[in-house]
Structure formats: structure tokens, C-alpha cells
A and B are shown apart, each in its own frame.
Chain A
Amino acid sequence: GAGVSQSPSNKVTEKGKDVELRCDPISGHTALYWYRQRLGQGLEFLIYFQGNSAPDKSGLPSDRFSAERTGESVSTLTIQRTQQEDSAVYLCASSTGTEVYGYTFGSGTRLTVV
């Protein structure tokens, strides 16, 4: 597609429920990233995919968080047993993976855990 698409744009969920966040990267972009942006904070790196594999999962905050990517395209970030501290905007980005380029970001999913 023309840009990085994320869905849903907004999600309100009850504490303890599981949520899935979806990212459709730009076609042909081999690298895909998930970041979290809490209110008033900078972006926090979560996970990076090169193709369908995740060489860097160092940013996942706990084992409640997981992510997968299929077909070198769509990625899903799953948060199990959501907690209020998971409330944030979850941003997805994709890139060609070439060193000199930055990313293209999606508009994010705003997750609110009540």
C-alpha cells in the first residue's frame, strides 16, 4: 500500500482481556518495527522483524507481549491479560532496512485499558 496502515485506530479494553493490534507495512518493506508511546514519553522500542523473523525482541516489556509477522507482510502485536500500564499508542513502522533510511510510521493504535 501507499503507507503503513494500523488497525484498529482506537481500542478500549477491560483489564485482563487480550488484545491484538495489526500492522500492514508498505509493500516490499522487509523490516517492520513496533514501538510504544506512553503519554508524555518518547517512543519505546518493542520489537523488530526482518522478513518474518524477529532478531531483536529486547524491548518487549513482559511475557504478556508477543508479536508475529507472516508472508513478510502483516504483523500482529498481541497483549495478553492487559493491565492499565499497557495504555499507550502503539506505533508500527516499516523500512527497506537500508542503513541510511529512516522509517515510515503508521498513525498508531491508541489502546486504553480500563
Chain B
Amino acid sequence: NAGVTQTPKFQVLKTGQSMTLQCAQDMNHEYMSWYRQDPGMGLRLIHYSVGAGITDQGEVPNGYNVSRSTTEDFPLRLLSAAPSQTSVYFCASAGEGSNYEQYFGPGTRLTVT
């Protein structure tokens, strides 16, 4: 199993540009989530999904959209990038078969200039 994969690893955007961060998992987990981590901070939940077709907001959802059309994929869309969205983004998945422990991807480092 590849686990949780994220692409790209690094990205630089200009203010106002849009982009999609990709996340995929091959563990058939029903739960997936997106976090952001700013320097010296903990992880803050952006959006999460409890299954295909079902998403909900986390602590800091503004400026981000998600969709869950398949069990495997959970892309995060930045609609109009702002410098405040400069951060490291982690995707995670969890499922009943793993006691709901979260498996995290390697992260995407995003810089918005």
C-alpha cells in the first residue's frame, strides 16, 4: 500500500491564483481530512469528509473548497490564493479497520507571494 499520497510536494503561487492540492489514499478509508500547519503551530482542520459525497467544514475553512467524488481522492482547492495561506498542508485518512487512527500524507509546502 502507498498509504496517503499528496501532490505536489512544493508549490509557489502568486496572490489571486487558484490551484488544487491532490490527496489520495489506497486503504479504503471512509474518513479523510485536510489540515494546515503554520510555523511553530499545531495542525488546524480545514475540511473533512466522512465518505464519498459528504464533506464538512473544520476550524479554518475560509478560502478553501473540497469535494469527495470517490473514496480514494479528496482534493483541496484554493480559490484565490492569499499570502495568509502560506503554510504546510497535510492530508489524512482514517477508517474503522485501523481503529480510526489517522494516517497522514507527507505534506505540501505552499508559498503565496
Do A and B pair up? The answer is no
B interface residues (Cβ-Cβ under 8 A, vs A): none
A interface residues (Cβ-Cβ under 8 A, vs B): none
